[in-house]
A and B are shown apart, each in its own frame.
Chain A
Amino acid sequence: MRNPNPAEGNLLDNENIMMINLAKIKEILNTQSPDLTEDLARQSSGITRQYFGRTITLYTPLYLSNYCSSYCTYCGFNNHNRIDRMKLTTRQIHLEMRQVAQTGIENILLLTGESSKATPLSYLKEAVGIAKHYFTGISLEIHPLETEDYRELYRHGVDGVTVYQETYDQTRYKEIHLSGKKSDYAYRLKTPERVAASGIRQISMGILLGLTDVAEDLWALYHHLGRMERLYPGVEYSLSFPRLRKIKGHDFAICNVDDITFIKIICLTRILFPRVGINLSTRETPRVRDHALGLGVTRLSAGSNTSVGGYATLPLQGQEPQFDIEDTRTVEEMIQLLKTKQFDPVLTDWRPIKNEIV
Chain B
Amino acid sequence: MKTTELYISERTEDTPLVIAGKVFTSRFLLGTGKFKSKSILEETIAASNAEIVTVALRRIDLERHEENILEYIPKRVTLLVNTSGARNAKEAIRIARLARESGCGNWIKIEIMNDSKYLLPDNNETLKATEALVKEGFIVLPYMFPDLYTARELIKAGAATVMPLGSLIGSNQGLKAKAFIKILIDEIDAPIIVDAGIGTPSQAAEAMEMGADAVLANTAIATAGDPPLLAKAFAMAIHAGRLGYLSTMPEIHDTADASSPLTGFLYEKS
Q: Which residues of A contact B (CB under 8 A)?
A: 49-55, 104, 106, 201, 229, 233-237, 275, 339, 342-344, 346-351, 353-354, 356, 358
Contact = CB atoms under 8 A, between A and B. Distances in A.
A233 B85 contact: no
Given A50-B219, A353-B95, A358-B88, A234 B170 contact: no
Interface string B25-56: 00000000111111000000000000000000
A339 B59 CA distance: 17
B147 interface: no
A150 B75 CA distance: 43
Residue from B59, B64, B87, B116 with most neighbouring chain A CB atoms (10 Å): B116
Given A54-B34, A234-B115, A349-B58, 18 more contacts: A50-B170, A51-B170, A53-B222, A55-B33, A55-B35, A104-B64, A234-B114, A235-B116, A344-B36, A346-B59, A348-B59, A348-B60, A351-B60, A351-B95, A351-B98, A353-B91, A356-B90, A358-B88
Contact of A201 (B87, B115, B117, B172): B87
A18 to B, nearest CB: 14
B116 A350 contact: no
Contacts, number: 79
A138 B258 CA distance: 70
B15 to A, nearest CB: 35
11 contacts: A50-B171, A50-B219, A52-B34, A53-B36, A53-B223, A235-B116, A236-B116, A275-B116, A342-B37, A348-B60, A350-B85
Contacts of A51: 170
A353 B99 CA distance: 11
Contacts of A233: 114-117
Nearest to A226: B117
Nearest to A355: B91
B61 interface: yes
B64 to A, nearest CB: 7
Nearest to A49: B223
B135 interface: no
User: Do most interface residues of chain A lie in helix, strand or loop, or is the interface mixed?
Assistant: loop
A104 B68 CA distance: 12
A302 B113 CA distance: 30
A324 to B, nearest CB: 31
B34 A234 contact: no
User: Do most interface residues of chain B lie in helix, strand or loop, or is the interface mixed?
Assistant: loop
Contacts of B35: 53-55, 344
Given A229-B116, A348-B59, A349-B59, A234 B36 contact: no
Contact of A275 (B64, B94, B114, B119): B119
B108 interface: no
Nearest to A341: B36
B57 interface: yes
Nearest to A276: B116
Contacts of A350: 58, 85
Contacts of B187: none
Contacts of A347: 61, 67
Contacts of B90: 356, 358
A106 B63 CA distance: 10
Interface in B79-123: 85, 87-88, 90-91, 94-95, 98, 113-117, 119
Contacts of B119: 275
Contacts of A50: 170-172, 219, 223
A106 B58 CA distance: 11
B60 A344 contact: no
A37 B219 CA distance: 27
Contacts of B59: 346, 348-349
A234 B87 contact: yes
B136 to A, nearest CB: 15
Contact of A353 (B38, B61, B98): B98
Nearest to B169: A51
A344 B38 contact: yes
A104 B172 CA distance: 34
A51 B170 CA distance: 6
B34 to A, nearest CB: 2
